[in-house]
Amino acid sequence: MRKKEAFGVGSRLRELRERYLKLTQTQLADLLGVKQNTLSSWEREARDIPTWVYSFLASHFGVNINWLLTGEGEPFLTPSTEPVKKKDSYEGLSQEDRKLLELIKNLPPKDKDLVIQLLKRVAMATTSGSTSETSKNF
């Protein structure tokens, strides 16, 4: 019979967020593009952490996924005690573009899909020079 871990992956995620990244649940949730209560459920181990979250943490902060999953090794892949932070994904965007992305991010998935379809149609019409035609269809 396997011995149950005293601290599971959710506890290590919380430790990573608080101790190493110095982020609140809301801040990390925003970076991940999820709601704060979703992150909370991962930390409490009420829900499984999706695979993409591990990839995000590794690529954006240099997190050692083996440590996150098992508790073995060091929390970060770099020898430094400081996490490797990538550039802000909104860097270079205007305030208006940032607001638009935030609005889209907070939509329910079904509505988000509709907005994406609409934006694709407008973009295609713009490149073909017929934006007035597209607006008549909506």
pLDDT the model gives residue 83: 52
Contact 35, 28 (CB under 8 A): no
pLDDT digits (tens, 9 = 90+) for 23-60: 999 999 999 999 999 999 999 999 999 999 999 999 88
Gap between the Cα atoms of 26 and 48, Å rounded? 19
pLDDT the model gives residue 45: 95
CATH hierarchy code of domain 9-70: 1.10.260.40
The predicted model gives 77-88 an average pLDDT of: 57
CA end-to-end distance (rounded Å), the chain: 61
Q: How large is the C-alpha radius of gyration of the chain? A: 20
pLDDT the model gives residue 102: 79
pLDDT the model gives residue 86: 53
Q: Residue 70, SS3?
A: helix
Domain ranges of the chain: 9-70, 95-136
Looking at residue 132, its amino acid is: S
pLDDT the model gives residue 138: 52
The mean pLDDT value of the chain amounts to 81
Please give the model's pTM, rounded to 2 decimal places.
0.56
Contacts 24+ apart (CB under 8 A), 91-100: none
pLDDT higher than 70, residue 133 = no
